Chains A and B, each alone.
Chain A
Amino acid sequence: MNTVVLLTLTGLGLAALYFLVASGLSLVFGLADVLNFAHGLFLGVGAYATWWAAGNLPGAGSDGLGFVVAVLFGVLAGSLVAVLVELVLIRPLYSRTIEQVLVTVGLSLAGVALLQATWGADPRPFPRPDWSRDVTSVLGAQVPNAGLLLIVAAVVVLGALLAFLRWTRYGLIIRAGVENREMVTALGIDVRKAFTLVFAIGGAAAALAGALGGVYFGTVSPGQGGSLLIFAFIVVVIGGMGSVVGSAYAAVAVGLLQQFVNYYGTSGLGDLCVVGLLAVVLLLRPQGLAGKVAHA
């Protein structure tokens, strides 16, 4: 029983990480048709900016309020980089889907190399509050606090995103744009502003994943974003592109599946099951669990 609780909660922690990365990817893809390989870079920027801020930014630190400031700084940095990428590199290529993918591919290669050039390829210890190293007893299972933090953060982000999409004018535009971008412009709305906005949101969520992932893993390294990104892609496809709720369901499914199978089967088998799940979902429902029909 303890093991099941522990596995469930660590699986949810993983799911939270996937969700933070995937929600932005999904919105960016759903609205703007951009398959963003540079999304892992936003995560890396968030992690390193947090790490840097904790050591160098006045007022920021690795504990208490200072830690919150450091994370905020990281999130802001990730969001800023995402907006810059959208404005400078992606926007001039709008509607040229393949070229956009290529540019984000180049960016992911160059960006990770740049992180590596600046801070080295080796993992660096991540500043984290003392309480995040402790465990909390939940139903008899000793669950790491860092994992719980991730879950809480993801739930908050999910709630905030849904509220934003539901109650604000831009949320309305984004929901409509995911369905039919052309008709949004035909109502006199400049949909490209919404593109920039989803990049900013996606960048912020990914950067948060980077910062909290750093707390969870205890280290930060340039390649961290890349491996997470592949599973985030899988989550996006399973969840249906453009659907935040779909991403949340899919992230939970993938995180739990991975954790349980890796524990009860051999290590690595869970990852394979996830890909199997992807294949099954695609064959049965090419549009994903909750999304619009994926198109070319």
Chain B
Amino acid sequence: MAVEPILSVEDLSVRIAGLHILQGVSFEVAPTGVTVLLGRNGVGKSTTLRAIVGLTPRNGEARGTVRMGAQSLLARPTHRLVRGGLGYVPEDRCVFAGLTVAENLRLAERRGTTPAYDKVFALFPELDRRGRQRAGSLSGGQQQMLAIGRVLLNDNRLLLVDEPTKGLAPKVVTEVAEVLERVAESVPVLLVEQNLAVVRRLASDAVVLSAGRVAWTGDARELLLETALTKSLLGVGSAEVHS
């Protein structure tokens, strides 16, 4: 990569409950656009994102080097990393079901900065209308909007987004993809995504994990063109993408 990456992961190893899940993963995230992290189910994509943001579970341990700019991330507490501009949208949304939409958003406000409600409500007008609704009673798509929205209230240097389209209806998948596309215009995104149509639409770079290591990195379109490669690495042919 010619330009300086926004995030570089070097030799990241994660053990959880005695299992060696990541065994020396290295890759970089470009300072613009969407870098997509791919791999079969259970290969450790979420584990990678969680390690980056400092949320490796207590019975686990992450080693290696992760840098955002000049800053080393591992071993720093999560809330510091997030305040430092690392936004994280977890798998399965994880909105606070017992809190209202407005409260979910309010939680993300920080002292000393003005929350960008205009921006968020422009992207998701729904969130403005449903402020008093309990987040647990939102639809899956709306919850995903909320999960993304509360991260966008603050300025971020990099977004980690884990499977934002999981379990959503095709129409909602397109909506989410559209939003991410607009978000990625201003912030670089490291995206975990199974839906290859979304990958095709958003991703500029791709990193593929296999058996605890990086099996492939490069231009995302190149990867999708090679049917045999995607089939062996992801277990799907890119023919499925067109259907």
Q: Which residues of A contact B (CB under 8 A)?
A: 95-96, 169, 172-173, 175-176, 179-180, 182-191
Contact = CB atoms under 8 A, between A and B. Distances in A.
B202 to A, nearest CB: 22
A189 B97 CA distance: 18
Contacts of A185: 55, 77-79, 82
Given A172-B99, A172-B103, A176-B99, A187 B94 contact: no
Interface stretch (B4-12, B22-30, B106-114): B106-114
Given A95-B58, A172-B99, A180-B94, A187 B108 contact: yes
A201 B103 CA distance: 22
A95 B103 CA distance: 26
A179 B88 contact: no
Contacts of A190: 77, 79
A187 B82 contact: yes
Contacts of B82: 185-188
B150 to A, nearest CB: 7
Interface string B56-91: 001000000000000000000111001100001010
A183 B58 CA distance: 15
Contacts of A96: 58
Contact of A189 (B58, B79, B151): B79
Contacts of B88: 186
B100 to A, nearest CB: 10
Given A179-B96, A186-B78, A172 B107 contact: yes
Nearest to A97: B58
Given A172-B107, A173-B107, 10 more contacts: A172-B103, A172-B106, A175-B96, A175-B103, A176-B103, A180-B96, A182-B55, A183-B96, A185-B82, A186-B94
12 contacts: A172-B99, A175-B98, A180-B96, A183-B96, A185-B55, A185-B82, A186-B79, A186-B88, A186-B94, A189-B107, A190-B77, A190-B79
Contacts of A180: 94, 96
B209 interface: no
Interface size classification for chain B: 20 to 34
B97 A186 contact: no
A183 B88 CA distance: 9
Q: Is the interface of A mostly helix, strand, loop or mixed?
A: helix
A188 B99 contact: no
Contacts of A173: 107
Contacts of A172: 99, 103, 106-107
**Which of A95, A169, A173, A188 has the most chain B CB within a 10 Å cutoff?**
A188
A183 B108 contact: no
Q: Is the interface of B mostly helix, strand, loop or mixed?
A: loop
Contacts, number: 58
A175 B94 contact: no
B4 to A, nearest CB: 25
A185 B107 CA distance: 11
A175 B83 contact: no
Contacts of A179: 96-99
A188 B108 contact: yes
Interface string B127-152: 00000000000000000000000110
A186 B96 contact: no
Contacts of B96: 175-176, 179-180, 183
Nearest to A179: B96
A179 B135 CA distance: 12
**Which of A95, A169, A173, A176 has the most chain B CB within a 10 Å cutoff?**
A176
Nearest to B98: A179
Contacts of B83: 188
Contact of B110 (A175, A176, A188, A191): A188
Nearest to A188: B82
Contacts of B79: 185-191
A201 to B, nearest CB: 19
A95 B78 CA distance: 14
The 7 residue pairs across chains A and B that have the minimum distance between CB atoms: A188-B82, A185-B78, A188-B83, A95-B58, A185-B79, A176-B96, A183-B94
B107 A186 contact: no
Contacts of B108: 187-188
A244 to B, nearest CB: 13
A177 to B, nearest CB: 9
B17 to A, nearest CB: 13
B200 to A, nearest CB: 29
Interface in B173-202: none
A186 B53 contact: yes
B154 interface: yes
A170 to B, nearest CB: 11
A184 B77 CA distance: 12
Contacts of A169: 106
B163 to A, nearest CB: 16
Contacts of B78: 182, 185-186
